[in-house]
Structure 1
Amino acid sequence: MIMKMFYVIYAEAADDAIINAFKESGFKAYTKMCGLMGEGEETEPKLGTHYWPGNNNALLLAVSDEKIKPLCELVRKLKVENPRAGLRAFTFPLEEECV
């Protein structure tokens, strides 16, 4: 089976909405990274400082190739519903599951 890693990053302020939407869509298995900092092109920087408050979160989902299209559609929908969340999603090949 061909597997992919789906990586989505978003403003931590949108965490509840993002997590709930993924779970409601049947995507319940993920790894979550919190407290990420960065600058994007559509929103203010999230650097965790007084001047640039806030942070980002990221989700990693190891999924079969056929799940990528529904995940991308979900993220597009969430981007419309949460325009200030700075939502971005990427996929990359998952070459091997070791355990």
Structure 2
Amino acid sequence: MKAVFIAFDQAHLEMIQSILDHHNCRGFSYWENIQGRGSVKGEPHYGSHAWPSMNSAILTMVEDQQVDGLLKLLNNLDKQKEALGLRAFVWNIEQSI
């Protein structure tokens, strides 16, 4: 089992939910109005007058075999609108109840 953390511009929400549905990722936790700044070339998302956009994040647990396909679709979405920003990170899940 893997945990996939997805941080993204709020404009991506519906597409990311569609990608999760496509991969049968039913369960997830969602946070909106998250502030941040990309580590490479992303613009800040602070919700301020100067930087008005905001991020959101989703954390989902998936089976190991789902990860590559999920990341591929997320990467394709990011490439379509690179200026918005989207990052995904994967962790091993040791146990769950």
Tell me the TM-score range normalised by the shorter chain: 0.7 to 0.9
RMSD (Å), alpha carbons: 1.5
**Normalising to structure 1: TM-score of the pair?**
0.85
Match of 1:7 in 2: 5
CA contact (8 A) 2:19 2:70 kept: no
Match of 1:44 in 2: 43
**Number of aligned residues:** 96
Measured after TM superposition, the shift of residue 66 of structure 1 is 1.0
Measured after TM superposition, the shift of residue 25 of structure 1 is 4.0
Determine which of 30, 33, 53 is the counterpart of 1:32: 30
Work out whether 1:77 is the aligned partner of 2:64.
Answer: no
Match of 1:20 in 2: 18
Distance 1:28 1:78 in 2: 20
User: Unaligned stretches of 5+ in structure 2?
Assistant: none
User: Unaligned stretches of 5+ in structure 1?
Assistant: none
Q: Structure 1 residues 66 and 25, CA, compared in 2 at 3 Å: closer, same or farther?
A: closer
**Normalising to structure 2: TM-score of the pair?**
0.86
Distance 2:86 2:37 in 1: 12
Q: Structure 1 residues 82 and 23, CA, compared in 2 at 3 Å: closer, same or farther?
A: farther
Match of 1:93 in 2: 92
Match of 2:61 in 1: 62
